[in-house]
Every structure is written in structure tokens, then in C-alpha cells.
Amino acid sequence: MTEVAKLEKHGSIAVLTIDSPPVNALGLDVRRALLKYISMAEADPEIEAVILACAGQTFSAGADISEFGKPFQAPDLGVVCRHIENSSKIIVAAIHGTALGGGLEVALCCHYRIAVPSARLGLPEVALGLLPGAGGTQRIPRLIGARKALEFITGGAPVSASAAREMGIVDEVADEGALVGSALEYVRKLIAGGAPLRRVRDLEDRIAADRQQPELFDEFRRSNARAFRGKDAPESIVKAIEAAVALPFEEGLAREFELFVELEKGLQAKAQIHAFFAERTASKVKDVPGDTPVLPVRTVGVVGAGTMGGGIAMNFLNVGIPVHIVETAQANLDRGIATIRKNYEISLKRGKLTAEALERRMSLLHATLDLGDLRDCDLIIEAVFESMPLKQEIFAKLDAVARDGAILASNTSFLDLNQIARATSRPDHVIGLHFFSPANVMPLLEVVRGDATAKPVVATAMKLARKIGKVPVLSGVCDGFIANRAMRARTEQADLLLLQNLSPDAIDAAIYDYGFAMGPFRMLDLVGLDVIGRDSTERSVAKDLVAAGRMGQKSGGGYYDYDEARAARPSEAALDIIRAHAAWKGIAQRSFSQEEIVARLLHPVVNEGAKILEEGIAMRASDIDVAMIKGYNWPVQTGGPMFWADAVGLPRIVETMKALEAEQGEAMRPSRLLVELAESGRTFGSL
């Protein structure tokens, strides 16, 4: 057994420190060590109390997620928790970093909890398609009441130490950086004051009050129906908290365990755990070692203060990196700066930003009309109109202005980065940083590696992405990189189904029922049909609708009709225009089964993903899942298109693609990799 903990005596107080990097996850060795050392402390007559602390960056971040799906090994976390809670000596949790999931559940079994101000505490199991399985759904309601517990556990978001103190989850806030010292002082006071062995499980007042409001659970279900749609874990959490209120503690614990096992055995938990690890794996570049030296990024230049340029700038201002933003005209510059300030003021109004933080960020923003002012920037990101000649001109100028060693990046969403790099004398320092709009909100950042991009530049971009809170996915150079290219397959099929006599609401409903927040045609109406495809001259349904004055929601009608409250309803006028367009194109009309609609919309996305993989544009199938989940809100409970395809069965995907190939030609031919995997009974996950 690896030594993952130690017990040190400070007079009559023992400090039990877990030391299991990187996050003190409660794997088998840690569970065994906890039982061993707590039993030792209990047996030692000199010890009056135990402080449970963790070494490294954080208090325990929960169960070891990598153990899920593998054969269970005793002791389980429930046994450890029970042992702590029934200890004959006071046990105090000393919390720093993030006490999450099972880590917080262990702390809840301690008799008291002390935390440093920077600590954060939460039960994020819902993000893994699970629920707290070590008593969290039974103990938290006893501390904060069922209503707050419902929010806290189905939301999964951690709270600060001071908020946890307010809620009664934490008893004492320690001095930052002096946790063990503060904890020792706190425990001495507890001992001197004859503090009882207080067990959270014995606190009945709050749940007794909750018993008077049985309707609160169904009210919560109704008000969260949209957010919880298609996901199993939230409803199971509600049931577990209902059990906490309705049943005696032990029965409630048993009910929680039953619900936990049900979720853990289900596909959604497997999918969301896949997504959790896939996101972290995506940051690792196969031929760029993790210890590759990175280049400094102390100041950033942004060329273009439009929607994208402004949003990109905000990412760096948010983490204290100064930004020099350049425009060609003062009016554009003023508008861009004003938009950035307005976005921060919205956060201020929502209580997500303080006034001084807002001003501090704005003070780091330097606006200029002169590219020469970027001469000292370590990284310059171009975010101008998608025109290759324009980008080449700008990169040539940046190359002349930027200091030696500066990285030049383009935010292009589909243009050839290699061609852009060739406009400079430093192609090895040119990279793509493709942000997704809104750039200050969407988590995906596609890091586009050119043929000449140097490894330290790749390493710098991947690390910088995490620093600004983005999820990086490395992409090779192709039209649309990963997420846009894969999603285009769905868009094309949706447009074709529309012309083959499927209504916008039938297509949107299939996508919505699959788990997306909104279908493609509702989205187009929201964005505005006059905006879509305005650069192309080719006739399209959207152009025909615009020609008939149907711009989408903003004009009261697009693919749908909208009432004053912007509620959508099917539109006969839109259908007439769509049918006329289909007739003009000579598209045969036909009907489709529900199952066929989903297959025709989403199997081509999987096939495109297989091509992206076999062309080496993406390093891994799971990277494609991350890009789609983080860039297009692909329903995380499916694991992403490639994980989902493995669950559907690749032969089924091949079958759909062959039917589409017969109907639409070789563009729909099943990819070679997909066919190989299907025929050999393998999966994308086996790659």
C-alpha cells in the first residue's frame, strides 16, 4: 500500500494529513489510511482530538473518479464516513483548496469544520451524472434545509468558505496560509469548552420544518424542468433529498445509495465521466512533452475591437493580463471599448464582479490606432474580417512590428493558417487561436497548429488557454477545423431534410429531444436570417425567407411565426416558401420516421468526426467530443458524438451513411476509419 497519509501529534491533538497528489482523491489507499490512522488515534489515550487535513493543492476533491466502472474494493467511503462520525474523539476537518464531492462528505462526517477564506466547498457529482453517494444528500439538508440543498446539489457549484460559514457547512474560517495553526487553536478551544461530539446526522430541526412543506419538491421539479431535461442525475438527487426529509437517517442513507448505484450503472454517468477525463486529456499534446518550456505571455495585443476582438480581450483582462487593442478608426475603437465596459457592467449588476475589479480590468486595456503600439506584446491575436488577403496584409505588418519571439495568432474560424503564416518571416511563431462566440463566454478554444508552428508555441497556447479559463483542443489546419466542420454536417442534413418535406419544427424537435437546448431553425431565427449567409450569392431558403420579409424573431417571422412574447409557432407562410424552393431545386419529397431523423442529422457528424480523426486534424476521438460539448453544447449526458456513436454501434452509423451516400453521393460515403472499426467490432474509444 502506498503511504498516502501520516499522523503527527501536537500535544493531545493529532493531525492526520492525507497526501495523495494531485487532488487527494479518496482512492482505495486513502480510504484504508483514513481507517488505519483514525483507529490509531482513537486507541491512543494521549489523543483528545484529531484534525483531518490534506497536503498539496487541495483538501480531498472527492472519490477517485478513475475507480468508477471498475470492480469495487472495500472499504467503501460510507464505511470510512461512518467510522469518522462515530469516533469517540472530536474530529475536525481543516479545509483548503476545493473540498468537493466525497471530500466534502468526509468533512461533513467530522464533528466540526474549519476552512481558509480561499477554500471552496461543493458537491459537483451532478456534473458526472452522479449524486453524492457518501451521505451528502442526507447531511447537507440537515445543515441548510431541503430547499437550499436542492439548489446546492443539483447545481453542483462550489461555494466560498465564507458562504459555507453563512450556510452552516463550515464552523470557523481560519487565517489564510495558517490552516493547521488555526485549526490547532480552534480545537484547543473546543476541548476547553467541552464541545460535544456533534454529528450532522443528528440535526433534525431543518428537515422537521421541511416536512411541513411537501410541495417544495414538486415546485422545484417544475421550475427546473427545462434545465434538467434529458438528464437522470438531477431527478435522482431530488428523490434522495426527499428521502432525507421523509425517512430516518439510516433509511435515507440506504435510499441515497440505491439511487447512486442506479446512476453509476447508467450510460449517462459513463458519458459524463468520459467527458470529464476527455477534457483534461485534450490539454495533452502527444508530441509536445508536458515539460516543454513555454514562452512568456505578459502582455497581449488584439487586432480588431469588434465582437470577437472585444470578447477575446476580456479573457486576458479577466486574469490580469494587460491588453493593447487596435482598430483602424476611432469610432470602432470607442465602440469596442464601450462594449467591453458594458459586458463588465452586466456582470457587476449580477453580482459576479465588484466595481473595483471592473475598473482594474478596464485599466489594463489600452486602446490604439497604431499597430506599432503592439511592439512589446508577447502574443498578438488577429481578430479581423475573414478575408485571406486582409489577414495576410495584417500578419506581414505584425511581423515587422512585433518583438522577436512574439507569438502571432489568428482567430480565423476556417481560413488556411499555413497560408497566413507564410505572410510572415516567423511561421514557427504563428498559431491559430479560434475562440467561439461569445469569446468571453464559450469555453472552447481551438488551438490550430500550423505545419511550421514550433512546439514551445503550441505548449504556450495550450497552457495559456487553461490560464484564461478556456478548454483547449488542438486542431490541424482544414476548413472549419474540428467543431465547425463536424457541426456543418448536421446543418447540411437539416437543410436537406427541410427540402425533402420535413417541417422546421419536426427537425428542431428531434434535436431538442436528443438533448440540445435549441434546434437549428429556432437558432437561425434567433440569430436573424438576414445575417446568415450574407456573404454568399447562392440562393438559399434563408434568402427566400428574407426576400419575403421574414428575418426571424426580430421581424415576427422566419422559419416560424412569433407572437409579441416571441413564442414560436409553425408557419404556413414559411412552409410555402420552403416548398417552393424545394420545387425549384427539384428535390423529391418523402416522409421520415422519428429514429431516421436523428440518424440523418447526427450520424453524418460522427462520420465527419471519423474523417477529422483519420486526417490527423484531431489527435483523439475524445478531443472531438470535447470540442462539440464545449463549442456547441452537445448534450454532455451523451458523452459527445464519438462516445455516443460507440454506444449506438458503429455498424448502425455505417448503415445510415451508406443510405445517405446512395441518395446524396460520395460526400456521404462512410469514412474508411469508421468502416474499419465497424467491421472489426471496435470502437472510437478503443483507439
Q: Interface residues with ligand T1G (CB under 6 A)?
A: 22-23, 25, 58, 61-66, 77, 98, 100-102, 105, 124-125, 128, 130, 132-134, 136, 277, 280
Task: Compute the half-sphere exposure of residue 236: CA atoms within 13 Å on the CB side of its CA.
Answer: 24
Exposure string over 672-681, b if 16+ CB within 10 A, otherwise e: ebbbebbeee
CB of 431 to ligand T1G, least distance (A): 22
CA 93 to mean position of chain CA atoms: 29
Task: Compute the half-sphere exposure of residue 494: CA atoms within 13 Å on the CB side of its CA.
Answer: 24
CB of 562 to ligand T1G, least distance (A): 40
Nearer to ligand T1G, 244 or 510 (CB): 244
Q: Which residues, including other chains, have CB under 8 Å from residue 465's CB and lie 6 or more apart?
A: 283, 433, 445, 447, 471, 472
Cα distance between residue 634 and residue 486, in whole Å = 12
Query: How distant, in Å, are the alpha carbons of 478, 638, 675, 677 from that of 684?
Result: 21, 14, 11, 8
Nearer to ligand T1G, 62 or 552 (CB): 62
Task: Answer yes or no: 572 catalytic.
Answer: no
Of 230, 251, 229, 231, nearest to 240 (Cα)?
251
CB of 131 to ligand T1G, least distance (A): 7
CB of 454 to ligand T1G, least distance (A): 24
CB of 624 to ligand T1G, least distance (A): 18
Nearer to ligand T1G, 122 or 519 (CB): 122
Nearer to ligand T1G, 284 or 569 (CB): 284
Find the catalytic residue in 3, 67, 125, 661: 125
Q: What's 421-490 look like in SS3?
A: HCCCCCHHHEEEEEECCCCCCCCEEEEECCCCCCHHHHHHHHHHHHHCCCEEEEECCCCCCCHHHHHHHH
CB of 140 to ligand T1G, least distance (A): 11
Nearer to ligand T1G, 277 or 584 (CB): 277
Q: Alpha helix locations (H) across 211-299?
A: 215-223, 225-228, 233-246, 249-265, 267-282
Nearer to ligand T1G, 105 or 505 (CB): 105
Task: Answer yes or no: 105 catalytic.
Answer: yes
CB of 559 to ligand T1G, least distance (A): 39
Task: Compute the half-sphere exposure of residue 289: CA atoms within 13 Å on the CB side of its CA.
Answer: 3
Nearer to ligand T1G, 65 or 340 (CB): 65
* CA–CA–CA angle 123, 513, 602 (5° rounding): 100
CB of 409 to ligand T1G, least distance (A): 23
Nearer to ligand T1G, 140 or 170 (CB): 140
Cα distance between residue 180 and residue 15, in whole Å = 8
Q: What are 78-82's contacts with CB under 8 Å, separation 24+? A: 78/133, 78/134, 78/135, 78/253, 78/257, 79/31, 79/35, 80/26, 80/31, 80/34, 80/35, 80/106, 81/105, 81/106, 81/109, 81/134, 81/135, 82/109
Q: Are 452 and 430 in contact (CB under 8 A)?
A: yes
DSSP classification of residue 353: S
Nearer to ligand T1G, 161 or 645 (CB): 161
C-alpha cell of residue 114: 474549519
Of 46, 45, 28, nearest to 36 (Cα)?
28
CB of 314 to ligand T1G, least distance (A): 21
Of 374, 407, 373, 410, nearest to 392 (Cα)?
410
Q: Are 59 and 95 in contact (CB under 8 A)?
A: yes
Nearer to ligand T1G, 17 or 410 (CB): 17
CA 12 to mean position of chain CA atoms: 45
CB of 132 to ligand T1G, least distance (A): 4
Nearer to ligand T1G, 133 or 631 (CB): 133
Backbone angles phi, psi at 544, to 5 degrees: -65, -40
Nearer to ligand T1G, 40 or 294 (CB): 294
Q: Alpha helix locations (H) across 324-416?
A: 330-349, 355-363, 388-401
Cα distance between residue 110 and residue 549, in whole Å = 66
Reduce the DSSP state of residue 539 to 3 states and report it.
coil
Cα distance between residue 368 and residue 361, in whole Å = 17
Which residue's CB atom is positioned nearest to ligand T1G?
101
CB of 60 to ligand T1G, least distance (A): 8
Residue corresponding to grid cell 465547425: 484
CB of 30 to ligand T1G, least distance (A): 11
Give 497: exposed, middle or buried? Use CB within 10 Å, 0-12, 13-18, 19+: buried
Of 97, 101, 112, 31, nearest to 58 (Cα)?
97
Find the catalytic residue in 85, 105, 446, 608: 105
Beta bridge partners of 51: 15, 92
C-alpha cell of residue 305: 475591437
Catalytic sites, residue numbers: 105, 125
